[in-house]
Amino acid sequence: MNACLGDAVGQIYAQKYFPPDAKAQAQAMVANLIAAYHKRLDALTWLAPSTRAEAQAKLDTLYVGIGYPETWKDYSAYEVRPDDAFGNLWRSSVWYFNMQIARIGKPVDRHEWSMTPQTVNAVNLPLQNALNFPAAILQPPFFDPQAPAAVNYGAIGSVIGHEISHTFDAEGSAFDSKGRVRNWWTPEDHAHFEQQAEKLEKQYDAYEPFPGVHVNGKQTIDENIADLGGIAAAYDGYRASQHGAQGPTQDGFTGDQQFFIAFGQNWGSQTREAALRRQVLTDGHSPGQFRAATVRNSDAWYKAFDVKPGETLYLAPDDRIHIW
């Protein structure tokens, strides 16, 4: 019953808040980011040819769901009665069980969604080699069809790039382009990846939200790597959308500055001290203020704001980490 209600609300939400022109614009952004990842993979000297080929194949076959599913689930076999709450719940469980059983012996539906359109989130689905970006996250402040390209790429573009990056991280490397569990990396590739990851772990270990309380770089490494790849690919995608140039200056900020400001605003939040302490101890994501600090590894950020040695977030070029 809950799934049925979620889908019904999702259809209404998608129709009202995510029109076709917004979907087309978001799809164009996705295409630019995938193209950016193709170029970045081609430029990596540490990937073996066989690893690079499979990574490119994963990009070529990646399904990116934007806004809402192409096909809504069929609930015609589910009977809802206005005077039978318990029966409705029971029959919904039976409907869901039968749906799952019906999968046996059939190919994986790579276009099946795991989220409702009204969910503010995004997900990478390694078994499907797929991503879902529900309509609710494709709303301001993450995405606005009327906003400058720099703002959209810095905000939702970095989120899209983050999820694409998971295709190649510690978990993604265990699944190939067909969603099969298969290690397609060479030992040398893994060794280099782990070496760079360890450097990023140490960078995040140094962050201290409270005196004596540090971010756990190992616990958050997969998400930190995804943030790192996401902002790099989003910046490339943004520049590609402007044919290599910066977009127009707005309110005194250059296009590049707008991009990085929008990225930082993604992570603006207020968290109670107890909740933040719990997050540091248990969450695989770094606190928002340190996710915003991903820019420290971006050469373009230093140029955009003329960041100098001695300033708080400055990292020497040799200390900046680039993985993808």
CATH number at residue 240: 3.40.390.10
Q: Which of 7, 223, 227, 236 is catalytic?
A: 227
Other CB atoms within a 10 A radius of the CB of residue 132 amount to 27
Q: Which of 163, 189, 201, 222 is catalytic?
A: 163
Active site residue 227: yes
In a domain, residue 76? The reply is no
- Name residue 221's amino acid: I
Active site residue 163: yes
In a domain, residue 106? The reply is no
In a domain, residue 308? The reply is yes
**Mean pLDDT calculated for residue range 56-69:** 96
In a domain, residue 303? The reply is yes
The pair phi, psi for residue 133, each rounded to 5°, is -125, 95
Nearest to 284 by CA among 230, 243, 223: 223
Tokens representing residue 71 in the block? 């096909």
Q: How many domains does the chain have?
A: 1
Residues 115-163 pLDDT 10s: 999 999 999 999 999 999 999 999 999 999 999 999 999 999 999 999 9
In a domain, residue 256? The reply is yes
In a domain, residue 98? The reply is no
Residues 192-213 pLDDT 10s: 999 999 999 999 999 999 999 9
In this prediction the pTM is 0.92
In a domain, residue 7? The reply is no
In a domain, residue 257? The reply is yes
Query: How many whole angstroms separate alpha carbon 178 and alpha carbon 58?
Result: 8
Range of the domain at 271: 19-68+111-319
Query: How many whole angstroms separate alpha carbon 83 and alpha carbon 99?
Result: 25
Torsion of CA 315, 300, 223, 191, to 10 degrees: -70
Strand arrangement of the beta sheet that strand 63-67 belongs to? 63-67, 130-134, 123-125
Burial annotation 291-309 (CB, 10 A radius, 16+ → b, else e): bbbbbbbbebbbebbebee
Q: Would you state the pLDDT for residue 281?
A: 96
Tokens representing residue 69 in the block? 């599913």
The 8-class DSSP code of residue 65 comes to: E
Cβ contacts of 303 within 8 Å, gap of 6 or more: 256
